Amino acid sequence: MWDYLQHLSFWDWLAFGSLLLILEVFGAGGYLLWTGIAAAIVGLLVYLFPALPWAWQFLLFGCLSILTAVYWWQRQQAAGKPSDQPGLNQRGSEFVGRTFVLHDAIVGGRGKIKAGDSLWLVSGKDLPAGSQVRVTGLEGVVLQVEEV
């Protein structure tokens, strides 16, 4: 065993890193990805410095695993931050609170307003075309309106 550890090659580290990356595919949640990358980095270092003692190789692997795991954790924390533009890609949300004129009468709870250069479906109580309505909410792509 000691003889094997004293003669670890970069192929051993690359194989170990590949094994960890393959195991990551089966759902480790990202942790084995970064540990596998750490093993690949150690493999690269062993390729560049073939006389690197096995103890240093394991120390580097441990440190790199911790560093990459911390990097992954910080990246995950940053992904959960709320956006400074919460309405991005929700174009209808910009109409909430604004007043429009009904383009098509609301019949059976459905009608249309013209907002900008587009017609939007609206939902609300039945009203004739030309009535003033205020957008109160959004349900999917249908604007909720009430009479002004």
Tens of pLDDT, residues 55-74: 999 999 999 999 998 988 88
- Report angle CA 37, 4, 44 to the nearest 5 degrees: 30
Residue span(s) of the chain under CATH 2.40.50.140 come to: 91-147
Tens of pLDDT, residues 102-135: 999 999 999 999 988 899 999 999 999 999 999 9
The encoded tokens of residue 41 equal: 């980095």
Interacting residues of 39 by C-beta distance below 8 A, sequence separation 6+ = 13, 14, 16, 17, 20, 61
From CA 61, how far away is CA 45, in angstroms rounded?
A: 10
Residue in this structure with the two tokens 């560093």, named with its chain if needed: 67
Q: Which fold has domain 91-147?
A: OB fold (Dihydrolipoamide Acetyltransferase, E2P) (2.40.50)
The encoded tokens of residue 55 equal: 């103890």
